[in-house]
């Protein structure tokens, strides 16, 4: 499973912190050398003698040429730490570049998806606007778009909503106790009474409970 964009960004942040915590570093290889002076009476002339030393030198390649720097014995351990830190720096920067490249690739797909969602949103908005214009024309007439009367529009919308609610309640056949005969005489009043019964049934009590 490929890591998510959030996971990649967290990994990059971790590598950024690691880079800021780098200690002194330097590239190259530390070479230990022994040498023989050539005097026949010197201890280095013995067959089992490694020679004079050791001496240390730091070598590295610069512009396709090998550069050598003498390192004193007192600085050997420090130089070894610096070389090790350089190797760590090289590994972290390599990982940083790899993660950054993956982030760049991952960011291409959300950008495409976002553009697609924006196109769909624009299309839905246009469809909604067209449907709204058609509904207003059906409620108030074709001239309502040119010179809209918002009060009349609100009244028409509320009336339409009440008619829809009344039909829905009639289909459910909700019974309403204690409904006065005068209220039952008109469908509109009966629908309003049913709405009140649905919203607050505790307000209607049987005669025996009063």
Positive or negative CA dihedral for 59, 61, 62, 63? positive
Query: Quick one: pLDDT band at residue 54, thresholds 50, 70, 90?
Result: confident
Positive or negative CA dihedral for 121, 126, 128, 129? positive
pLDDT at 92 over 90: yes
Could you identify the residue written with the tokens 């019974």? 175
Three-state DSSP state, 174: coil
This prediction has a pTM of: 0.48
Q: What is the mean pLDDT of residues 200-208?
A: 46
pLDDT tens digits along 147-189 = 666 676 667 767 777 777 777 777 765 544 445 555 444 555 5
Query: Quick one: pLDDT band at residue 80, thresholds 50, 70, 90?
Result: very high
- What integer pLDDT is reported at residue 205 of this predicted model? 45
């Amino acid at each position: 499973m490929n890591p998510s964009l959030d996971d990649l960004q967290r990994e990059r942040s971790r590598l950024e912190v690691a880079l800021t915590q780098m200690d002194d570093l330097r590239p190259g290889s530390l070479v230990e050398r022994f040498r023989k002076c050539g005097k026949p009476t010197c201890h280095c002339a013995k067959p089992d003698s490694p020679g004079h030393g050791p001496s240390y030198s730091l070598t590295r390649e610069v512009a396709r040429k090998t550069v050598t720097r003498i390192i004193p014995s007192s600085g050997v351990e420090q130089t070894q730490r610096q070389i090790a830190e350089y190797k760590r720096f090289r590994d972290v920067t390599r990982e940083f570049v790899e993660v950054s490249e993956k982030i760049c690739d991952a960011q291409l797909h959300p950008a495409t998806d976002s553009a697609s969602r924006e196109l769909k949103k624009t299309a839905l908005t246009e469809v909604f606007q067209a449907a709204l214009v058609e509904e207003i024309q059906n409620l108030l007439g074709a001239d309502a778009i040119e010179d809209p009367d918002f009060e009349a529009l609100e009244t028409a919308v509320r009336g339409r909503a009440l008619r829809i609610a009344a039909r829905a309640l009639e289909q459910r056949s909700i019974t309403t106790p204690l409904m006065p005969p005068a209220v039952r005489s008109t469908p509109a009043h009966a629908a309003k009474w049913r709405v009140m019964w649905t919203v607050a049934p505790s307000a209607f009590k049987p005669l025996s409970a009063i």
